[in-house]
Amino acid sequence: MGDIDDFRQAVESFIAQRGWTATRFGRTIAGDPLFVFDLREGREPRSDTRQRILKAMQDEGEAKAPPPLRIGVAGLGNVGATLVGILARDGEELTRKLGRRLEVVAVSARSRTRDRGVDVSGYAWFDDPVALARSPDIDLFVELMGGEDGPAFASVRAALELGRPVVTANKALLARHGVALAKLAEESGAQLGFEAAVAGGIPVIKTLREGLGSARIARVYGIMNGTCNYILTRMSGGIQADGPPVSFAEALKEAQQLGYAEADPAFDVEGFDTAHKLAILASLSFGCEIAPDQIFVEGITRIAPADIKVAADLGYAIKLLGIAQRSAEGIEQRVHPVLVPKTSAIAGVDGVLNAVVLETDHVHALMLSGPGAGGAPTASSVLSDILDIARGTRVPALGVPSGELVPYRPAPMKAHAGGYYIRLNVKDVAGALAAIATRMGERGISLESVIQRPDLRVKDDGGDGVQTRTVVLITQETMEATVRETLNQVAGDGFIVGMPQVIRIEAL
Ligand SMILES: NC(=O)c1ccc[n+]([C@@H]2O[C@H](COP(=O)([O-])OP(=O)(O)OC[C@H]3O[C@@H](n4cnc5c(N)ncnc54)[C@H](OP(=O)(O)O)[C@@H]3O)[C@@H](O)[C@H]2O)c1
């Protein structure tokens, strides 16, 4: 590209970045209102004119450019190091988009010497993240250490107390202290961004807080844990086209080998990680306080390949969903495996992907799906919060001022109504199945189907050598309390062995 082309491009992008007209440029910078029109028509200004105009553009830029946003990043792990790398690599482009420079000036982590794949030698180092949060040399504090208390809570609180904006990806922190932190942010006039805390790279917080800010949400549900979704997908024979379905233990081992599951996977597979995210989504959806301890939580560890097979034969997939919905009693918040129709959009969300469905009262359902974790997708959500703060966007952290949040009114799980998948190990004695069906009938439970197949044997450890047959019952809509009471009676009658497997069917 020749000098004149470079010059033309510099003039055009200067105009575009500022949203100026060509005439304004001509008057303010070039001293001739028609200058840009002449340039566009191919007239080439002399070299000394170009130099004069380039200098004027530079002076104007320096005079008007807002000061850089100085960022302190605490936590240089998967997400933090990726964020620092992106800001170093894409800094110029981001500056052009924002008209303001984003500058990492200080960082904190535990080990100063660890190789993180990014060069942090040019940034001030803080051993103490609280000291970094309070440093007068930063304008924005980014918390990427994790943990619901400890240094994460202390440093975020310290920054907000000073009126300093904070961005965090920490769902545990938000689930536990979100309301207090939102209140603190309001009192000190600081912004608190946490887009990355729920479903990693999916912009669900912004969608709820801003895009659907005026809509009344009726139900929000989603696949919010990639580890569980990977395991369930593999158990159903998905992902590896020619691979056979595998057991829970095999799928978990595979997920660990691929880095999708922690060495200690309990927090994920028992459903608690999903519960943290659901608590945050429920608050944003229903304008209520965050209530992570009021969630009914059941993980996926008891799902057997036979459950997946029967479900598939009946036209369902099994997914671990977090679901929050309004009901007559209050708000239901539950995390458990669910039979979802294979025809539903969420049934097609496989592997480590996440998806969140937002349903409004006007029967408008919106599904957002994408990568729920990983350094780059998560850092990109962190970055989107940083950009909002750099632009000066102001929104209450939880969508409404914290004083307007209503206390969380839990709808008891026993009042939940829906269809049920019930798998029983029934003793192989005459009349057993008839007795079970009678118990169900007495409690008003209508059975949609009863499935008994020789290939469905699930070994149960309570067997004592008793011969059993695996039987699956599908109920029509029934109350949770009725199902539980009836199954207690069935167990008391002595016709089944071991614990019944109960999976809820969700109407989607
Ligand atoms: N990874 C994901 O895919 C993902 C997705 C969504 C949300 N998140 C959230 O993002 C946050 C960070 O996750 P991550 O995966 O990046 O974690 P990580 O890889 O374990 O990194 C944690 C970082 O925090 C630093 N750190 C821990 N304690 C510290 C302390 N007392 N003082 C200073 N630094 C400390 C560690 O320092 P050293 O490196 O020196 O040990 C490390 O750099 C968490 O809240 C997580 O829930 C992560």
Question: DSSP string spanning 132-199?
Answer: HHH-TT-SEEEE-S--SSHHHHHHHHHHHHTT--EEE--HHHHHHHHHHHHHHHHHHT--EE-GGGSS
Residue 234: pLDDT band (50, 70, 90) is: very high
How high is the pLDDT of residue 237? 84
Residue of 83, 125, 145 to mutate, ligand 1, most atoms within 8 A of C-beta:
145
Q: Is 277 assigned a catalytic role?
A: yes
Closest ligand 1 atom to residue 381 Cα is 6
pLDDT band of residue 218 (cuts 50, 70, 90) is very high
Q: How many residues does the chain have?
A: 508
464 falls in which pLDDT band (50, 70, 90)?
Answer: low
Q: Whose CA is nearest to atom 41 of ligand 1?
A: 110
pLDDT given for residue 459 in this prediction: 65
Query: Using CA positions, which residue lies closest to atom 8 of ligand 1?
Result: 169
Quote the CA–CA distance of 489 and 184 in Å, as a whole number. 51
For ligand 1, say whether the CB of 114 is within 6 Å of any of its atoms: yes
Tokens 């970094």 identify what position? 132
Quick one: what percent of the chain has pLDDT higher than 90? 77
Q: What is the pLDDT of residue 219?
A: 95
Catalytic residue among 171, 183, 277, 319: 277
Question: Is the CB of 130 inside a 6 Å radius of any atom of ligand 1?
Answer: no
Is 70 exceeded by the pLDDT of residue 156? yes
Closest listed residue to residue 354, CA positions, set 243, 248, 291, 273:
273
What residue has token string 């008209």?
99
- Tens of pLDDT, residues 92-146: 888 888 888 999 999 999 999 999 999 999 999 999 999 999 999 999 999 999 9
Q: What is this structure's pTM?
A: 0.86
Q: Contact, 296 vs 414, CB < 8 A?
A: no
- Angle, helix 3-18 to helix 47-64, in steps of 10 degrees: 30
pLDDT tens digits for range 422-433: 999 999 888 999
CA distance from start to end of the chain: 57
Q: Where are the beta strands (DSSP E) in 386-430?
A: 417-427
pLDDT of residue 20: 84
